[in-house]
Chain A
Amino acid sequence: MKKKTKQNIIMLLIVLILVLVPFVVAKGGSFAGSDDEGTAQIKKNDPHYKVWIHPLWTPPSAEIESLLFTVQGSFGTGVIAYILGSAHGRKKERARQIHTQNEAGKARTETSAANGR
C-alpha cells in the first residue's frame, strides 16, 4: 500500500474513534444541540430578554430536518467525489497514454534498428 494511503486510513480511524468515544465517556449526556437549551442558557443570564424574531420557516419535524441536513451533506460529498474521481481517472489515463507511447517508441526504434541492419 502507498504511504499516503496508509496515512489517510490511519487518520480516518482516528476520526472514527473521536466520534465514537463520546458515547462511552459521556454516558449521561443527552447529545442534544437544541435551540431550546440555548435559549435557556441565555435566559439564565438575562431573564427579561425577549426573542424578537423567529425563523421564516422551520422544518416541520425532526425527520424533515435530518432529511435536509442529509441533502446538504450528500450534495457536498457528491461534488467532492466527482472532482476527485474524475481527476483520478484523468491521472490513470495519462499514465496509460505515456505507457503506450513508450511501448510504441520502443517498437519503432527496434524496427528501425532492424531495417538499418
Chain B
Amino acid sequence: MKKVFKKHMVPKVSAIIGLCSLLFFALYPRDAYAMHIMEGMLPPKWCIFWFAVSAPFFIYGLYRMKKIVTSTTQNAKIMLALCGAFVFVLSSLKLPSVTGSCSHPTGVGLGTVMFGPGVMAVLGVIVLLFQALLLAHGGLTTLGANCFSMTIVGPFVGFAVYKICRAFKVNRSVSLFLCAVLADWSTYVTTSFQLAVVFPDPTNGVGGAVIKFLGIYAVTQIPLAIAEGFLTVIIYNLVISNNLWKETALG
C-alpha cells in the first residue's frame, strides 16, 4: 500500500514543481536558442581541446561496449540497440519550451542506467555525427565539445545521481527519472560553460557570460528534461514488463 502511494506521488510532485516553474517563466517570456554548439562557433584551439578531452572517454566506451556485446547477459545486444534508438528518437524531437524557444532532449539516461556511463559516449557520437553530417545541426569541428557535454558529462552526472538515489533506497523508477532529468539538464549546463569560457561577456567577464548562456540553454531545458525523465521511465517500464531485461541486472 505504501509503495503504491509513493509511486503515485512522483508524478504529482513533479507536476507541482513544473507548474511553479511555469508561473515563473510566464512572467519572463523571451526568445532564445538552445541547441548543440554549431559548426564554426568554437575557435580551432578549443575544438582540438575538446576532442582531446573526449577521446579517452570514447575509447573507454568502445572497450565497455565490446565487453557488453561479448558478455552472456541476456538480451544485452538488443538492449544496446534499444538504448541507441532511444537517443535517436529523443534527439530528433525538437520540443517547445516555456521560454518561447525550442530545444531537444538527449535520451542518454536510459542507456546510462542499463550499461553505465561509458557506453553512451559511443552511442551518442553516432547520433551527433548523423546530425552534424545530414542536418547541419551541431558540427564536425565542434563534435568534441558536443560529445563532452551530451555523451560524457550527462551520462556521468546521471549515473552518479542514480547511484546516490539507490544508496538512499529511493524507488527505482524515481531514481531513473532523476537520472534522466539531470543527465539531460547537465548537458546544457555544460554547453553554457563551454560557450562562456570562449565568449566572455564584454563587461562582466566569464561569470556574466555563464549566467547569460545558462539563461538561454539551461532554463529552456528544464521542462524538456522533466518530459525526458517521464519518457525514459515509460520505456523502462515497458522493457521490464516484457521480460527483456531483469531489474536486478541494473544494480
Contact = CB atoms under 8 A, between A and B. Distances in A.
Contacts of B78: 83
B40 A53 contact: yes
A49 B42 CA distance: 9
Given A23-B96, A31-B100, A72 B130 contact: yes
Range of interface residues on B (Cβ < 8 Å): 35 or more
Contact of A73 (B38, B88, B98, B231): B88
A33 B88 contact: no
Contacts of A19: 95-96, 227
Given A37-B32, A73-B93, A58 B238 contact: no
Given A7-B7, A11-B230, A22-B223, A80 B82 contact: yes
Range of interface residues on A (Cβ < 8 Å): 35 or more
A89 to B, nearest CB: 9
B173 to A, nearest CB: 8
B89 A76 contact: yes
5 contacts: A8-B237, A11-B11, A14-B230, A26-B26, A79-B82
Interface of A: 3-4, 7-8, 10-12, 14-15, 17-19, 21-23, 25-35, 37-39, 41-42, 45-46, 49, 51-59, 65, 68-70, 72-73, 75-80, 83-84, 87-88, 90-91
